[in-house]
Amino acid sequence: MRQSEINRRVAHATGESVATIRRLGFLLADPATVILDPDDESLGGHVLDWDAHDDFRHSAPSRPGR
């Protein structure tokens, strides 16, 4: 998958702009690298709990232009 396709899919899933996603630098995770602790200092910043994000998105007040 090309980086532009990753950016488009993440933007669609999160409701953010493709430019924002590109700036944040999303990458596909390496399935060989197991991240057991999302709060780990070296890998924790690279983990996003999509379920928690989705719950937050649906409970947060609507933002203008979204």
pLDDT at 4 over 80: yes
Whether residue 65 lies inside any domain: the answer is no
pLDDT of residue 62: 64
pLDDT at 44 (0 to 100): 60
For residue 50, what are the domain limits? 3-59
Task: Indicate the pTM of the whole model.
Answer: 0.49
Is residue 66, in this structure, part of any structural domain at all? no
The residue among 3, 23, 15 whose CA lies nearest residue 63 is 15
CB contact burial 5-18 (16+ within 10 A = b; e otherwise): eebeebbeebebee
Tens digit of each residue's pLDDT (9 = 90 or more) over 6-54: 999 999 998 999 999 988 888 777 778 776 666 666 666 666 677 777 7
In this prediction, residue 65 has a pLDDT band, given cuts at 50, 70 and 90, of: low
